[in-house]
Chains A and B, each alone.
Chain A
């Protein structure tokens, strides 16, 4: 069971890495867009990703 706990810990870390990966993609999309409405939507989408990575939520 210890191995399972270790694997689950690794998976948790990987899930944070996935969140970071998509946050970078969202930021890049935000920087590329020229439409204000789209930029606002990207900002809203970023919120949960940033808070998850900062472990605030």
Chain B
């Protein structure tokens, strides 16, 4: 057995274990972990041909697994702290205050109201990188406003999903781009504009397409009556200070890099969370909110830890190289023609694991062919979250259904209504990917 056949056999074992574990109703995180364990066992048992590697003692196997858990530790910490910040803000009543203010002032100005609601939906995902967080923090409230505006249930849940997906793609935190860039040893620099334009256009298309033909006929008092009250004491200053703190800490490092301390995103979000506690007129149970945050993010953080292990295992066994090779030798026209379909479907199966598995070899291929990898990766990173409503995982789609208490048919309601905006987003990303060089020149990346 040659090394090529060995790696191929390892991939087959991974696919088999994955399929069996899924059949046995194991959750995605455990399925991926079992696939990684299966790969290690296959690597130990199967012969490695004429070029055998050094023997792999038990301690080395443990070392590789542990190394793997740390691959995305910083991303996990960023994710947890950002979501903690947003959950704290929500529990303190800040989100209620913001939404009530927007509705109270702009309810009769339909376009402005929709634009502001889109911004409200984009913020949590933009700072946390998670569509599920967007749904859990502001999805219910924005859904209530949309219902008051007369948007029907199917369209409403589809819009909440699409905005959550686009918010996850929105900069500064796009986990797919961060994970793929980290795997390809590529600095996460220059992504802001391409990600902002693609996700922003996607969000606006979704909002205005799914709210077409709707008129705000209810009196504003009735709409406000259906929204939860904000705790007494909130005002504009208190509501904005935590975000100002966050923006100052992020921008400070860019404007004064020579003498600004290196905070790192996790600390920036924790300091912003501290600002929420100082500004909040209501006392909140900090540890309870941290526990809620962990419970809400269990799947996503779990997947990132396990994907790290799987990635390490794939590298150890040579399977990652083989996958990369398979992607790199594909004709480029095929990628341009099929990625719009492959990426969302793969996201539905693998979740964030898709970024290091497919993103890294794709970056290398595009880089090798002289294309602009920053623009291309930005396009893929907006296409991936579109698949978050697809089975078997459908994390964000399911979160939207639960949060909105949606009783309709998932496919005929949510997916069917979201289909047109989804296709527009995928087409936009594909066109941008094809014209990556002129777009890169235009944006200066």
Contact = CB atoms under 8 A, between A and B. Distances in A.
Q: Do these two chains interact?
A: yes
Interface of A: 4, 7-8, 11, 14-15, 18-19, 21-22, 24-26, 28-29, 32, 37-38, 40-42, 44-45, 47-48, 51-52, 57
B327 interface: no
B77 A22 contact: yes
Given A14-B267, A25-B291, A41-B29, A48 B261 contact: no
A22 B80 CA distance: 8
B266 A11 contact: no
Given A18-B270, A19-B77, A41-B302, A25 B293 contact: yes
B22 to A, nearest CB: 13
A26 B84 CA distance: 13
Interface residues of B, number: 34
Given A29-B294, A41-B302, A48 B69 contact: yes
The 6 closest A-B pairs by CB, nearest first: A25-B290, A41-B302, A7-B261, A48-B69, A25-B294, A29-B294
Interface of B: 26-27, 29-30, 33, 66-67, 69-70, 73, 76-77, 80-81, 259, 261-264, 266-267, 270, 287, 290-291, 293-295, 298-299, 301-302, 305-306
Identify the interface centre among B81, B290, B299: most chain A CB within 10 Å of its CB: B290
A15 B267 contact: yes
Given A18-B77, A22-B290, A48 B298 contact: no
Contact of B291 (A7, A29, A40, A47): A29
A14 B270 CA distance: 10
Contact of A18 (B69, B70, B81, B259): B81
Given A19-B77, A24-B287, A42-B298, A37 B26 contact: yes
Contacts of B305: 44-45, 47-48
Contacts of B294: 22, 25-26, 28-29
7 contacts: A4-B259, A11-B267, A25-B290, A42-B298, A44-B33, A44-B69, A51-B70
Contacts of A28: 287, 291, 294
Contacts of A25: 287, 290-291, 293-294
Contacts of A41: 27, 29-30, 298-299, 302
A11 B264 contact: yes
Contacts of B302: 41, 44-45
A23 to B, nearest CB: 10
Given A4-B259, A47-B69, A21 B290 contact: yes
A48 B301 CA distance: 11
B287 A44 contact: no
A7 B263 CA distance: 9
